[in-house]
Structure 1
Amino acid sequence: MQPQERLVVIVGPTAVGKTALSLTLAKRLGGEIISGDSMQVYRYMDIGTAKVSPAERAVVPHHLIDIVNPDEEYSVALFQQMATRLIREINQRGRLPFIVGGTGLYIEAVTHRFRFAQAEQDPQLRERLKRLAETEGVEALHRRLAQIDPVTAKRLHPNDVKRVIRAIEIYELTGKTMADFQQRAEQSPYNLYMVGLTMDRARLYERINQRVDQMIADGLVEEVRRLLERGYDPSLVSLQGLGYKELIPYLQGACTLEEAVAEIKKRTRRFAKRQLSWFRRMPEVHWYDLSNPKDYPTIVNTIHCTLAGKFAHTPNI
């Protein structure tokens, strides 16, 4: 019987400290990091997606960062395919793969091998749905999806017209929803350890606010302006990301910078709540509370010892 491939996953809400912990553990344990963030795949979008710096990437190898342009399609199925291949290759090198990020669907699609619909395409149906979006608005198209597949509709933005159309198409052709196809395997195929990071809500929200302020200071407004100057359409899925969508109205003169920043902070706090809800329903996650900074060194050492013990018979631990 083939031994299970090893995999460490670090999840949690935005700004909780996933990156810092992953860099420490990966350096100690001979690891390589696969980004589990659906926005870090895009080039030219560095500040708003909180990518690790080039210096940090030089210390620990990182994967699935800067692999597509903002106007190119990327999907959870593609992420699953790429991450699965990388996990195998990293294991074969005798190193320890880490998936680190906060995009729950992407991560769970890998850890529990979601199946994705193989339905054919119907060009006529797609054209009708596209016309519906053009004549009645993207919200009308999104409402149609919500009636047949509320689970998928909840995670897709109305502006993500291509994926909304695909979800409707799958239902029309198969009688099953996209959510029906994305069923979770009962057990992970990996020798898996999942770390979940959390902290007191007030402290987390304070860290989120500080992070947004730092992004603005680091030049997030200029980053968004450059994307628009490159000709990228504001309705692109990539530009609907937190920090980008809210600054576009400011750059178009529709609101003040203070209003845009306040909106980023509000929406990021809401996003953090949704992230926690997603990960808390995963029984495999081992939770660690980072509310008290004094506890951090002990927590790091505890996780390190746990991983070293779990993977003690592998060559790099």
Structure 2
Amino acid sequence: MSPETPLLIILGPTASGKTRLATQVAHEIGGEILSADSRQVYRQMDIGTGKDLEEYIVNGAPVPYHLINIRDAGDKYNVNDFQHDFADSYQQIRTNERLPIVCGGTGFYLYALLKGHANDTVPVNEALRKELDLLSTGQLTARFQASDSRYHALADISTRKRLIRALEIAAYLNEHSETSIDFGTESIAYPAVIFGLNPPVETRRERISKRLSIRLKLGLIEEVQNLLNQGITPDSLIYYGLEYKYVTLYLTGAMTFEEMHSKLETEIHRFAKRQMTFFRKMEKDGLKINWIADEWSESEKIQFIIAHYREFKSGNAGTM
């Protein structure tokens, strides 16, 4: 197997059917799943993160998976941890002479795999760039000096272009306080062919609402209560967002059940929209995503992915 076996990536917003499709493809071509989900790394956070581990049994055969259930609930996990853990799992898959299939909706993690360098993992903000480009270099410098972020002391502002990029990175980090990046670390930029699932908005919304009701019936509230009973603080669970945030607020008396359900449903819809916005930014940054038609049959989707991956792998064999 090539020392740089390309990744087969299946991405999409929440409730788009990524896991089922990825495991079906893995079963067909001898692959193993690498999860690119910022919350599925945690043990005992199963229902709220949608691990759907039953999907990893296909026709009675288990599909191996990685980067799921590798940290204790309550821990903090960031993109640097993900890159290091991913590299170890990727090497293991190559050693086993299997194919690496990445499945997930955490765009920032996927972006980090495809860009490699820490600076490049922060996406381009075209609107901000247009705004900054109207300023003189002196004004840009003054704005940067007046700003404050974790990147401030590390930034290279030796040219106008780098100064604008530094302001862009600083703004991103300030807006995403949960994001941690080690700018002193350079990681691998993996070769990859990317496939995307993007059901029509109304279909997606219907699936999200139905899935939330199912998760509540399956014991989502009990799952969060169990984590609280183990001594994980409400603040720690709220940090994980969405299901864990709003169910915790309900369990601690800050919301009624109806308020929690309504707010959570709304926020999951908004989250899916943000995911799609991020994927579109990836495309603008030159990362080609092969979007798969929602109306295709499962068999058609699987065969399309396998054919395009094999073609990509063959075409890149001479350069690896």
Displacement after TM superposition at 1:301 (Å): 1.9
Number of residue pairs matched by the alignment: 265
Partners of 1:88 and 1:192 lie apart in 2 by 15
* Residue among 285, 288, 291 paired with 2:292: 288
Aligned to 1:115: 118
Deviation at 1:191, TM superposition (A): 3.5
* TM-score under structure 1 length normalisation: 0.75
Q: Which residue of 1 aligns with 2:138?
A: none
8 Å CA contact 1:34–1:64 kept in 2: the answer is yes
Write the distance in 2 (CA, Å) between the matches of 1:289 and 1:204: 13
Residue 305 of structure 1 is matched in structure 2 by 307
The AA in structure 1 aligned to 2:281 is R
Deviation at 1:258, TM superposition (A): 2.0
Counterpart in 2 of 1:128? none
Q: Where in structure 2 are the equivalents of 1:158-169 lying within 5 Å?
A: none
Mapping for residues 168-317 of structure 1, pairs under 5 Å: 181=183, 189-236=189-236, 239-282=239-282, 283-290=287-294, 292=295, 295-311=297-313
Task: Indicate if the aligned counterparts of 1:247 and 1:260 stay in contact, CA closer than 8 A.
Answer: yes
Counterpart of 2:310 in structure 1: which amino acid? Answer: A
Runs of 4+ with >6 A deviation:
182-185
Q: What SS does the corresponding residue of 2:101 show, helix, strand or coil? A: strand
- Offset of residue 112 of structure 1: 1.7
Q: Distance in 1 between matches of 2:118 and 2:279?
A: 19
Alignment partner of 1:78 is 2:81:
yes
> Gaps (5+ residues) in structure 2?
121-146, 153-166
Cα contact 1:234–1:240 (8 A) shared by 2: no
Q: Does residue 60 of structure 1 match 2:63? A: yes
Measured after TM superposition, the shift of residue 300 of structure 1 is 2.4
What is the CA distance between 1:32 and its match in structure 2? 0.4
Question: Scaled by the length of structure 2, what TM-score is found?
Answer: 0.74
Unaligned runs of 5+ in 1: 118-142, 158-162, 168-177
Contact 1:7/1:87 (8 A) holds in 2: no
Q: Percent identity?
A: 34
CA contact (8 A) 1:12 1:275 kept: yes
Mapped contact 2:19–2:55 kept (Cα < 8 A): no
Cα shift at 1:151: 0.6
* Pairwise CA distance, 1:145: 4.7
Question: Contact 2:23–2:55 (CA<8 Å) still a contact in 1?
Answer: no
Greater shift in the superposed pair: 255-264 or 232-241 = 232-241
Whether 2:122 is the aligned partner of 1:101: answer: no
Instruction: Tell me how far apart the structure 1 counterparts of residues 52 and 242 of structure 2 sit (CA, whole Å).
Output: 17
Matches for 1:2-81 after TM superposition, within 5 Å = 3-53=3-53, 56=56, 59-81=62-84
